Amino acid sequence: MKKGLIVFAREPLPGKVKTRLAASLGDQLATRMYENMLHEVLKTTLQLCEIETIVFWDCEEESLPMLAKRYRCNSRSQNPGNLGQRMQTAFEVMFADGYDICCIIGSDCPDLPTSYILEAYHQLEMQHCDAVFGPSRDGGYYLLGLRQVWPKLFMNISWSSSEVLEQSLAAAKDAGMLTALLSEWQDIDTVEDLRAYQERNQGSS
């Protein structure tokens, strides 16, 4: 079974990444912190045996070769559109490329346990569900796993709101899908998220 992992990432440019963090920390520091998060996420993906990672970049087309070389990753460009449209297209690309099951994560969960990601693939591989969600504490989700594209999951969702997971689960139910939930985790969007991350990782190398 061919398993793929999509990582959604942005080209780390000041003013373009982590704008909520930047409001408190400044653009330059927020950009450096985003780069560090992305490096940690990609280190995590290297630990996932038999799962191929593709980074889908929100970037200018001419930046793609540089980003692929700099981060040493298989890279594609995100298509235009809102978050839902961009995610749906990324899943369609992966399934068209022959992947049987696929998950998507962002680049701002630097300490997401690999066990959480592997559990998503287990649920999908055993066909316990049609979709796996990893709930985040802000009402969104840090992971979505699928065995095929379900367009309803990407339509009429209030992206970047506290209702994303609730609306997504309702859309899945409306489509007749079986869903599974992973353990809760939190991405880093605010200074409070950053402090919580630092507290979780005190003493780690």
Global pTM? 0.95
Question: Does pLDDT of 205 surpass 80?
Answer: no
| Whether pLDDT at 82 is above 60 | yes
Assigned token pair, 136: 């985040």
pLDDT at residue 50, as a whole number: 94
Residue with structure tokens 């995100």? 78
Q: Which two tokens stand for residue 111?
A: 């300490």
How far is residue 23's CA from residue 20's CA, in Å, rounded to a whole number?
A: 5
Give the tens place of pLDDT for each residue, 85-100: 999 999 999 999 999 9
Q: Containing H/E element for 172?
A: helix 164-174
| pLDDT computed for residue 200 by the predictor | 87
In this prediction, residue 203 has a pLDDT band, given cuts at 50, 70 and 90, of low
Tell how far CA 169 is from the center of its chain.
17
Residue 128 has what pLDDT? Answer: 85
Which whole number is the average pLDDT over 17-40? 93
Beta-strand relationship, 74-77 and 141-146: unpaired
- What's the whole-number mean pLDDT along residues 56-80? 95
Domain segments of the chain as ranges: 3-198
Q: Cα separation of 56 and 11, whole Å?
A: 10
Query: What gap in Å lies between CA 8 and CA 151, rounded to an integer?
Result: 18
pLDDT for the residue 204: 60
Q: What percent of the chain has pLDDT over 70?
A: 99
Q: How many CB atoms within 10 Å of residue 98?
A: 8
Q: Which secondary-structure segment (H or E) carries 10?
A: strand 3-10
* 157-181 pLDDT, tens digit each: 999 899 999 999 999 999 999 999 9
pLDDT of residue 172: 98
Any bridge partners for residue 51, and if so which? 3
Q: Please say whether the structural domain 3-198 has been given the CATH code 3.40.350.10.
A: no
Mean pLDDT of the chain: 95
Could you tell me the CA-to-CA distances from 140 to 22, 59, 145, 153 in Å, in that order? 21, 23, 14, 13
Rounded Cα–Cα distance for residues 43 and 67 (Å) = 16
**128/130 Cα distance (integer angstroms):** 7
Q: What is the mean pLDDT of residues 2-30?
A: 94
